[in-house]
């Protein structure tokens, strides 16, 4: 009897999924741009990324948003990716990305909605009931990514979603090879972010004015960002803390890293946050954070362990925390060292692997 060998057809196996990623340019300012930067750098080895930009810095933002949204819709229909990943903030972003999600669903393409908005829940709660129903319709069919474990339950409740459709994926941080060395002279503290009431910059200026003369001589605060730059400079002058606070404009990544490499404190007394990239980046450099207990920050920063936590909108409490850290070099350095250890759990390669798991889930 002769063995008969039957040639079986080859079954193509796609090692890496094709992922259409819709969101800001990787070089864009702000936290979502930083997340996109990490995604492009570290997830490209795990998936074939097709990037569509709907936001970039500059004067053509509206054109970029419209053109990018239309391009994403066309790519979904014509190329039919394996997964669509949509970066979402709040307000109009939910509507635009929600419509793209519906386009993808009609093509049978799974959608991951990556929610970054620091005020999404407050915004949602303030909507009229019919509008809340529209938001649920736009978001509920998809897999939702939120920035912390504590945010899973509020999002599930608002959107009426099953537990397994809401995934907690904290923001990532690129791990710096070199960290700061202790330096003599004033203690360098930094504020990084968009200048405005939400980030607490005016509370910080007020807190600096409450420090003793000796503490003020020990502190050099660099506040770097965009937004209300002129207003912050006026507030610094009005508070008489020009000798303490240096107001700079937005820093690029290299400038930011150079500043963090020399800093000992990162101060961000926000009223609303998701999981701010500035805090993660600072902790990775061994910089002790001084923050408020908002958004996902309570999962990251523990008072007296790896940083200091102060109440929202309380310049007096913020001044006391700064004074304590200025007066105790050993404690300040110990908090910074522990901050770096704790930030390692958020390192970009592990985050990218977890994101790939989210893309693979159905």
Q: What pLDDT is attached to residue 180? A: 67
Q: Interior CA angle at 96 toward 91 and 101, to 5°? A: 120
pLDDT tens per residue across span 91-120:
999 999 999 999 999 999 999 999 999 999
From the list 122, 88, 42, the residue with the least C-alpha distance to 347 is 42
Task: Tell me how far apart the terminal alpha carbons of the chain are, to the nearest angstrom.
Answer: 47
Q: What pLDDT is attached to residue 16? A: 87
Q: What pLDDT is attached to residue 58? A: 84
Q: Interior CA angle at 188 toward 186 and 193, to 5°? A: 155
> Where do runs of H (alpha helix) occur along 107-189?
120-125, 129-139, 152-159
Cα–Cα distance list, 58 to 13, 34, 41 (Å): 42, 17, 23
Q: What pLDDT is attached to residue 50? A: 98
CB 205 within 8 A of CB 232: yes
In the chain, residues under CATH classification 3.40.50.2000 are 18-172+347-360, 187-346
Could you read off the pLDDT tens digit of each residue along the chain, which spans 362 residues?
444 444 444 434 457 899 999 999 999 999 999 999 999 999 999 999 999 999 998 888 899 999 999 999 999 999 999 999 999 998 999 999 999 999 999 999 999 999 999 999 999 999 999 999 999 999 988 999 999 999 999 999 999 999 999 999 999 999 998 676 656 689 999 999 999 999 999 999 999 999 999 999 999 999 999 999 999 999 999 999 999 999 999 999 999 999 999 999 999 999 999 999 999 999 999 999 999 999 999 999 999 999 999 999 999 999 999 999 999 999 999 999 999 999 999 999 999 999 999 999 87
Cα–Cα distance list, 126 to 114, 123, 129, 198 (Å): 21, 5, 9, 18
Quote the pTM value: 0.88
* Helix/strand/coil for 189: strand
CATH 3.40.50.970 assigned to domain 18-172+347-360? The reply is no
pLDDT tens per residue across span 61-79:
899 999 999 999 999 999 9
CATH entry, 187-346, from 3.40.50.2300, 3.20.20.140, 1.10.1660.10, 3.40.50.2000: 3.40.50.2000
Q: What pLDDT is attached to residue 146? A: 96
Q: What pLDDT is attached to residue 90? A: 87
């Amino acid at each position: 009897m002769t063995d008969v060998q039957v040639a079986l057809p080859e079954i193509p196996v796609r090692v890496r999924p094709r992922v259409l990623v819709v969101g800001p340019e990787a070089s864009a300012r702000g936290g979502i741009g930083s997340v996109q930067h990490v995604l492009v750098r570290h997830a490209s080895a795990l998936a074939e990324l097709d990037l569509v930009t709907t936001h970039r810095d500059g004067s053509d933002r509206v054109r970029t948003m419209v053109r990018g949204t239309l391009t994403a819709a066309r790519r979904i229909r014509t190329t039919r990716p394996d997964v669509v990943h949509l970066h979402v903030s709040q307000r109009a972003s939910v509507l635009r990305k929600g419509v793209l999600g519906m386009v993808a669903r009609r093509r049978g393409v799974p959608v991951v909605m990556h929610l970054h908005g620091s005020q999404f829940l407050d915004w949602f709660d303030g909507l009229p009931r019919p509008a809340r129903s529209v938001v649920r319709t736009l978001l509920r069919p998809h897999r939702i990514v939120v920035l912390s474990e504590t945010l899973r339950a509020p999002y599930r409740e608002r959107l009426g979603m099953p537990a397994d459709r809401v995934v907690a994926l904290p923001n990532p941080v690129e791990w710096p090879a070199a960290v700061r060395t202790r330096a003599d002279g004033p203690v360098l503290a930094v504020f990084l972010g968009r200048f405005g009431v939400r980030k607490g910059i005016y509370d910080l200026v007020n807190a600096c004015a409450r420090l003793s003369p000796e503490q003020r001589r020990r502190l050099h605060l660099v506040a770097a960002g965009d937004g209300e730059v002129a207003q912050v400079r006026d507030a610094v002058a009005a508070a008489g803390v020009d000798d303490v606070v240096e107001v700079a404009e937005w820093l690029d990544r290299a400038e930011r890293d150079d500043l963090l490499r020399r800093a000992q404190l990162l101060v961000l007394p926000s009223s609303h946050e998701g999981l701010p990239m500035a805090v993660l980046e600072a902790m990775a450099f061994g910089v002790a954070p001084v923050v408020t207990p908002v958004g996902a920050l309570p999962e990251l920063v523990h008072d007296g362990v790896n940083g200091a936590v102060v109440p929202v909108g309380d310049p007096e409490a913020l001044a006391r925390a700064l004074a304590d850290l200025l007066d105790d070099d050993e404690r300040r350095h110990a908090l910074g060292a522990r901050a770096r250890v704790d930030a390692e759990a958020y390192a970009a390669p592990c985050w990218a692997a977890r994101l790939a798991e989210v893309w693979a889930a159905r």
